[in-house]
Copies of this chain bind each other. A is one copy, B any other.
């Protein structure tokens, strides 16, 4: 019988072909126009999981998109690993910036280009294939449960209720997630921290209709100008966020931890060159790595209002809109920040305009202890396949569900991701390296071996 390693080697081309099939399904959860495709992706994942040998595979329906569940219980005495991931993807726009259609994957120079290639189809699919390989080689040392959702990119609104209502079904010793990045292909790392999120949408209304800017300009509040002034006021000269109470919950990082963070390999010139910028920009008193991980932020993700077509229209618009999100650090409450933002935005609205504030979704930050056996199992697994100890890092992104897992299930999550920050997730030309895809499939079985051994 083939070893797990041999099985992977023998089937790697098929694994890749299957992933490309999954990437061809435009499962954009944010846009209702793709509702049918999102469901199609769920059914595809369930079928693939069933074919890999999982039991009780099913779609758990929710008020939104279904959650794919499946499991393999090999031994009541063995530890149980709950694998979490998502089959939905970010919207692909702006489409014109893609070199190839986002849902027609192509492979160039050993890299897969497609929306979802890295986030998260490519990474969650590594687990399905590692599972298939362990099973086929009769080398699955842990019980395994899969929970793969379709609403991660829109806030996992329904997963929370599902988890709370299915604590027994989801009972596990650790949750394993691959939805993060390593520092570089020769510098493995494990995310031990995540930022939380509050995502808001605001509307500012001036006059009750669009007006002629010549007849009314200068005499009536322009909602775009006012919105710009309100947004502008949310950062001070040091790029501190000015919302009262915003920093109250922030867990300050010790000088020692900041010193060790400073040891993380980071090339500022290469970073700026990659982004085409002549300087970085952020909160005074913190490094780029710190600004993007241990500090909370406020970003405008979108803004629109007035005439945006070709040519010139001399309109003084009735309304202006913005989508504004805040990244939060551990101990900041998303609900509280959402409340503070809402109160502040209404408070700073000048007379002459009406404002509306709506919360899209949010989630809490997360910290993973590095002294757990789960972390050691992941660290040793990567050390084996990369030939180098992974660096513990804190990521700037958010996987809100991770904090919820701990709250509802009392189980920690291991963020063993294999992407790269340069994979352009959420951007045009998202991609994922074949090196990373196969390295993940190779590494996961080692985690299972290590976790089973360390659990004894």
Q: Which residues does A use to contact B, with CB under 8 Å?
A: 29-32, 90-91, 93-94, 97, 153-155, 181, 195, 197, 199, 201, 206-222, 224-225, 227-229, 231-233, 235, 275-283, 288, 291-292, 295-297, 299-317, 320-323, 325, 327, 350-353, 360-361, 395-398, 421, 424-429
Q: Are A426 and B218 in contact (CB under 8 A)?
A: no
Given contacts A155-B312, A215-B396, A279-B351, 13 further A-B contacts (CB under 8 A): A30-B309, A91-B307, A212-B397, A213-B299, A214-B398, A215-B292, A218-B327, A219-B288, A221-B281, A224-B231, A229-B232, A301-B312, A314-B426
Q: Which residues of B contact A216 (CB under 8 A)?
A: 275, 292, 396
Q: With A276-B207, A426-B212, A427-B210 known to touch, is A312 a contact of B323 (CB < 8 Å)?
A: yes
Q: Which residues of B contact A181 (CB under 8 A)?
A: 215
One complex includes copies of this chain to the number of 2
A300 to chain B, nearest CB (A): 4
Closest to A208 in B: B276
A223 to chain B, nearest CB (A): 9
Q: Are A427 and B299 in contact (CB under 8 A)?
A: no
Q: With A212-B425, A277-B207, A300-B224 known to touch, is A199 a contact of B308 (CB < 8 Å)?
A: no
Q: Which residues of B contact A207 (CB under 8 A)?
A: 275-277
A431 to chain B, nearest CB (A): 12
Of A208, A321, A352, chain B has the most CB atoms within 10 Å of the CB of A352
Q: With A213-B325, A311-B360 known to touch, is A281 a contact of B352 (CB < 8 Å)?
A: yes
Q: Are B30 and A310 in contact (CB under 8 A)?
A: yes
Closest to A227 in B: B228
User: How far is B351's CA from A308's CA once the two chains are assembled, in angstroms?
Assistant: 26
Q: Which residues of B contact A32 (CB under 8 A)?
A: 310
Q: Are B218 and A427 in contact (CB under 8 A)?
A: no
Closest to A195 in B: B214
Q: Which residues of B contact A277 (CB under 8 A)?
A: 206-208, 220-221, 352-353
Q: Are A312 and B295 in contact (CB under 8 A)?
A: no
Q: With A213-B301, A276-B208, A327-B214 known to touch, is A314 a contact of B197 (CB < 8 Å)?
A: yes
Q: Which residues of B contact A421 (CB under 8 A)?
A: 215
User: How far is B296's CA from A213's CA once the two chains are assembled, in angstroms?
Assistant: 12
Q: With A228-B228, A303-B308 known to touch, is A327 a contact of B217 (CB < 8 Å)?
A: yes
A98 to chain B, nearest CB (A): 11
User: How far is B222's CA from A303's CA once the two chains are assembled, in angstroms?
Assistant: 12
Q: Are A218 and B323 in contact (CB under 8 A)?
A: no
Closest to A90 in B: B313
Q: With A218-B292, A327-B214, A397-B214 known to touch, is A303 a contact of B224 (CB < 8 Å)?
A: yes
A14 to chain B, nearest CB (A): 31
Q: Which residues of B contact A360 (CB under 8 A)?
A: 311-312
Q: Are A209 and B301 in contact (CB under 8 A)?
A: no
User: How far is B301's CA from A309's CA once the two chains are assembled, in angstroms?
Assistant: 11
Return the contact of A275 from the options B94, B208, B425 (Cβ within 8 A). Answer: B208
User: How far is B350's CA from A280's CA once the two chains are assembled, in angstroms?
Assistant: 11
Q: Which residues of B contact A320 (CB under 8 A)?
A: 303
Q: List 6 A–B pairs whose Cβ atoms lie within 8 Å, in order of A's numbering.
A: A93-B309, A195-B214, A209-B428, A218-B292, A301-B313, A313-B426
Q: Are B304 and A308 in contact (CB under 8 A)?
A: yes
Q: Which residues of B contact A313 (CB under 8 A)?
A: 30, 90-91, 153, 301-302, 323, 426
Q: Are B300 and A225 in contact (CB under 8 A)?
A: yes
User: How far is B119's CA from A375's CA once the two chains are assembled, in angstroms?
Assistant: 70
Q: Are B308 and A302 in contact (CB under 8 A)?
A: yes
User: How far is B277's CA from A353's CA once the two chains are assembled, in angstroms?
Assistant: 7
Q: Which residues of B contact A278 (CB under 8 A)?
A: 351-352
User: How far is B308's CA from A202's CA once the two chains are assembled, in angstroms?
Assistant: 12
Q: Are A218 and B317 in contact (CB under 8 A)?
A: no
Q: Which residues of B contact A304 (CB under 8 A)?
A: 303-305, 308
Q: Are A301 and B315 in contact (CB under 8 A)?
A: yes
Closest to A287 in B: B219
